[in-house]
Each structure stands twice: as structure tokens, then as C-alpha cells.
Amino acid sequence: MPRGGKRSFVCRECGYQSPGWLGHCPQCEQWGTIEEDLTPVAAARPTGGKGNDRHGAGVAVAAPVPVSLSEVTFDTGDRIDTGLGEFNRVLGGGLVLGSVVLVGGEPGVGKSTLLLQALLSMEGRGVSTLLVSGEESASQVKLRSVRLGGGSSGLRLVTETQTEAVVAALEQLQPTACVVDSVQTLWSSAIGSTPGSVAQIREVTAQLLHTAKTNGIALILVGHVTKDGELAGPRVLEHMVDAVLSFEGDRAQPFRILRAVKNRFGSTNEVGVFQMAEQGLIEVPDPASVFLEEGDMRSGSVVVPVLEGSRCLLAEVQALVAPTNFAMPQRVARGVDRNRLSMITAVLSRRARLPLSNCDIFVNIAGGLILEDPAADLAVALAIASAFRDGDAGRGMAAFGEISLTGKVRYALQSDKRIQEAARRGFERILVPGRNAEEAAKAGVTPSGMKIEAVIDIADAVRRNSG
Ligand SMILES: Nc1ncnc2c1ncn2[C@@H]1O[C@H](COP(=O)(O)OP(=O)(O)OP(=O)(O)O)[C@@H](O)[C@H]1O
Ligand SMILES: [Mg+2]
């Protein structure tokens, strides 16, 4: 529908607006994501704005009456326990009434399982709940709930994809907690475009948000992500909701991590760890060493204590180095950023004099973990160096530290936590940046049976590790 005679175009991924069609979005750099904006002018209202027509020129608008902050009351008991401690932890202590949480994740990672488990648990404790399923039939949901041990629950279910009908159901049933699975399957009759398009997602979310806020419902929306891990649909969705959680994990592996990307009511520093099993997701309250592979460490494998929010996890970096058969050697990274791997390889070649330019390099993080902590650099470098020499120097040893382009190993945050965690798991040696070693010595925190070794630069670390 043309907007006042003029056509306008919008990027499906980031919401970038353009007066003409483009093949490539200049904002998010994606190809083929620009489509015609079919939002009618009347529907393009501010988030959840049902009241006055702000677009109508000359319409009298009453000024809102301000309230004094001192008169505003709130109840700290307004958080709902989801029944899953790890989920509560990521939310900042439970679901907040009248808030909207978006849970994103790749297909099959377990979003529907997690949220159904939470709903079943809440329903079991007398919280009024509702599941809106636009993706699965009632019998499919029943099948999953039987697997999760909640086949006879009184959980109410609506299989509906039209937003106006969902809003009517919410207003009539007045649940305390509601899950909508998924936001991309919903559509609104106010918009002419197909479900999942930018205009539809924006409109659907605005309507649901308004209903949740005015009725005090804790609403959870499920959102799909693209292969790059971005939420499919406009980034504006992330701005509209109160919290964005991302559910990550390798489908071939049992462990899943729930991470807060944004949270208006809690820290974004917390992660929740789960294990996918036959009977659903099992919480892992002490996840420090679940990502380590069993048995002896081999050549090309080094352990790093990484920070995941306020927790410390032990991750195993595995590397394989082999002579290349190609003109351009391969650099394959799973669980670490590929550009970071290229940088570490270049630093190893130049600063530690390892001739890696004719080698294919493969790096993998065991257990499907994705490392974002820069302090993992040293372990990646040592795993590559160990794989190159085919030595097993990683045995009984952990390492952490960020590597700079000059080859220096830089200070890492919270070294006491990292050292303690490695010691708890029985590591006897840990290579740490010089300043971290000084800090540990000053604080007198060296755990018994552990040797803390300060490394100056990458060449020094490689030398120590080959002894
Ligand atoms: N019987 C089972 N035993 C163990 N794991 C199972 C079993 N059935 C399903 N799963 C796990 O549950 C996952 C599917 O979970 P779920 O349907 O909740 O994912 P989802 O994120 O909602 O997927 P989608 O994006 O397709 O909706 C499967 O990938 C599998 O790992
Ligand atoms: Mg699902």
C-alpha cells in the first residue's frame, strides 16, 4: 500500500529505511533484505500507542498528567518464579509482570522445550498460564508435554496466528504468564504484507506489547534467528521488548547456554546452562567443567578458564595443524571467531617464528561452546603450537590471556576466579599474563598443588609449553 502516493522501502533485518529499492542494505550489510514497507500510515504509530492520533494535524491533544516519582509504588514480589533456577538467574530473578521477553535461538536448539517446561512448572504452582502456538498443533504440544512429564497439566493452549485473536484471548483469559511461539508466525489484519515481514513483526509486537503492559501479563515471545545468529526480523524488535535472551548451543551436543543480550530488569552478565535430555532440559547449576572432554588431554588441546557472566567455565581448545594441499591454506574455526583465529595465527608466525603459512589450521571448542572472552587467545595459540609440534604439552595445564598484535600477553579480568576454577578441576600448571601472576602473588591466592607461571609474550609462552 503506497504511503501517501510515495513508496518506501525497509530492511527486513535492521529496519533501515530507504526511498528506493536496494539490493544491499548499507546499514547491516546484508543482501536481498530490503522490501517495500507496506505499513499503512495509521498503523505506523508509536509502540503500543492506542490513544490520540499524533499524525493527524490540527487534532487537539490533552496534555498527560505527570506523577511524582515519590508517589509511584512498586512491589518487589512482582517477579514470577519460572521453576527453572537457571532461567530465573538470566532473567534477573524471575519474570516481571507486564514485561515482554524475547527468546531467540536457532531452529531445534530447544526454545519451545524450555518455555513449555517453564509454563508447566508455573501452572503446577497455581500461576495462571497460556501458551499461544502458531507453529505447532495442539497434539504436537501435547506430545512434547508428555515427554516433559506434564501430560496431565491444566496448561491452557491456543493455536492461533492472527494477532487480533491472540490479543482478544489474552484480554479474556487474563493469564499471569503467556508464551507466544513464535512471533514470526503471527500476522495482523492491519497490515497487507506476509507473516514474518518487517512490517508484520513490528505491528504484531506492538499489539502484544500494549496488551501485556495494560493487563500486567508476563509475556515471552519466541523469535527465530538467522544463520548468523541475528534475530530474524528487524533489530527494532530488540528495542521494543524489555529483555532479549539468546538460547545457544550445538544441536549435536547436549549442552545449551541461555544468555541475556539485553535486560531492563537485571544484569546482562548472567548465563544459564542446561543439558538437553530425553525428559527435557536439565539444569546444570555447577557447569564449570561440563564442557571438558573426558580422558587425557592430547596434542593440540589446551584448557582455558573463560568468564561467562559472573561464572567461570573451563573450555577445551582443540587444534589440528596439517600441511596444506591448496594454494590458500584453510583456517577453520568452530566456537572461536575466524578473524581472531587469523590474527592469532599471524602473531604466532611473526612473533613466535612458527612456520604456519603452508599449513591448514582447524580449531574447535569442545562441547559446542562459543568463546567470546578475549582471554581465550593464549589457549588458542598454545593449542595451535602444540598441534604443530605434535607434542602433548597441554597435559595438566591451563592458560589464559589476551594476545596483542605485538605478541604481548595482556592482563585478563578476574584472574583469581579463573585460577581457582582450574585448581578445583585438578590442573597443576597455569600460564597467566605477567600482571595477573603479580596480582595473584600479592593477594596470596595460589591454590595448593598449582604452579602459576607468568608469561611475557607469545614466544615465551610457546617456549615454556614445549619443554
Ligand atoms: N526424545 C528426545 N530425546 C532427547 N532430545 C530430544 C528428544 N526430542 C527432542 N529432543 C531435542 O529437542 C530439540 C527440539 O527442541 P524444540 O522443539 O524445543 O526446539 P525449538 O528451538 O523450539 O525448535 P524450532 O525452532 O524448530 O521451533 C531437538 O533438536 C532435540 O535436541
Ligand atoms: Mg519451537
Tell me which of 7-16, 144-153, 247-256, 377-386 is least confident.
7-16
58: amino acid identity, one letter:
G
Task: Write the CB contacts of 228 (distance below 8 Å, at least 6 apart in sequence).
Answer: none
407, 408, 409, 410 alpha-carbon torsion, rounded to 10°? -130
CA 408 to ligand 2 centroid distance, Å:
46
Q: Is 408 in the pocket of ligand 1 (CB under 6 A)?
A: no
Q: Is 280 in the pocket of ligand 1 (CB under 6 A)?
A: no
Looking at residue 267, its pLDDT comes to: 82
pLDDT over 70, % of the chain: 89
Looking at residue 369, its pLDDT comes to: 85
CA 114 to ligand 1 centroid distance, Å:
9
CA 316 to ligand 1 centroid distance, Å:
26
Q: Is 105 in the pocket of ligand 1 (CB under 6 A)?
A: yes
Count H helices and E strands in the chain, helices first.
11, 23
Tell me which of 25-34, 287-296, 398-407 is least confident.
287-296
E strands present in 240-343: 243-248, 255-263, 271-277, 280-283, 301-308, 311-323, 331-334
pLDDT at 331 over 80: yes
Average pLDDT, stretch 67-93? 86
Looking at residue 51, its pLDDT comes to: 46
Average pLDDT, stretch 98-102? 94
Looking at residue 5, its pLDDT comes to: 62
CA 436 – CA 416 distance, rounded (Å): 9
Looking at residue 426, its pLDDT comes to: 86
Kindly report the protein residue whose alpha carbon is nearest to atom 6 of ligand 1: 278
Better-scored residue on pLDDT, 127 or 31: 127
With cut-offs at 50, 70 and 90, classify the pLDDT of residue 392: low
Q: Which of 198-207, 263-272, 290-299, 351-360 has the highest mean pLDDT?
A: 351-360
Looking at residue 230, its pLDDT comes to: 64
Phi-psi region of 15 (alpha: psi -120 to 50; beta: other; left: phi over 0): left
CA 182 to ligand 2 centroid distance, Å:
7
CA 96 to ligand 2 centroid distance, Å:
23
With cut-offs at 50, 70 and 90, classify the pLDDT of residue 172: very high
Average pLDDT, stretch 59-73? 84
Pocket test for ligand 1, best of 106, 109, 119, 257 (most atoms within 8 A of CB): 109
148, 310, 268, 258 alpha-carbon torsion, rounded to 10°? -20
Smallest Cα–Cα separation from 261: which of 286, 237, 279, 285?
A: 237
CA 257 to ligand 2 centroid distance, Å:
16
Pocket test for ligand 1, best of 84, 102, 103, 112 (most atoms within 8 A of CB): 112
Looking at residue 202, its pLDDT comes to: 87
Cell of 42: 495509521
Looking at residue 50, its pLDDT comes to: 46
Q: Which of 34-38, 168-172, 227-231, 353-357 has the highest mean pLDDT?
A: 168-172
Q: Is 278 in the pocket of ligand 1 (CB under 6 A)?
A: yes
3-state secondary structure of 403: strand
Tell me which of 101-110, 231-240, 427-436 is least confident.
231-240
pLDDT at 227 over 90: no
Looking at residue 268, its pLDDT comes to: 80
CA 222 to ligand 2 centroid distance, Å:
8
Instruction: Write the DSSP assignment of 151-208 as a string of letters.
Output: TT---EEE---BHHHHHHHHHHH--SEEEEE-GGG-B-TT--SPTTSHHHHHHHHHHH
Burial 2-12 (b: 16+ CB within 10 A, else e): eeeeeeebbbb
Q: Is 276 in the pocket of ligand 1 (CB under 6 A)?
A: yes
CA 262 – CA 268 distance, rounded (Å): 6
* Predicted confidence (pLDDT) per residue in 10-57, tens digit: 887 777 888 999 999 888 788 888 888 776 655 444 444 444 444 555
pLDDT at 367 over 90: no
Looking at residue 381, its pLDDT comes to: 95
Ligand nearest to the CA of residue 109, numbered in listed order: 1
Looking at residue 113, its pLDDT comes to: 96
User: Taking the mean position of all CA atoms in its chain, how far away is CA 11?
Assistant: 23
Kindly report the protein residue whose alpha carbon is nearest to atom 8 of ligand 1: 278
Average pLDDT, stretch 179-190? 91
Looking at residue 120, its pLDDT comes to: 96
pLDDT at 166 over 50: yes
pLDDT at 87 over 60: yes
3-state secondary structure of 3: strand
Q: Is 107 in the pocket of ligand 1 (CB under 6 A)?
A: yes
Average pLDDT, stretch 386-407? 85
Element (H, E) at 79: strand 79-80
pLDDT at 457 over 90: yes
pLDDT at 301 over 80: yes
Q: What mean pLDDT, rounded, does the chain reach?
A: 86
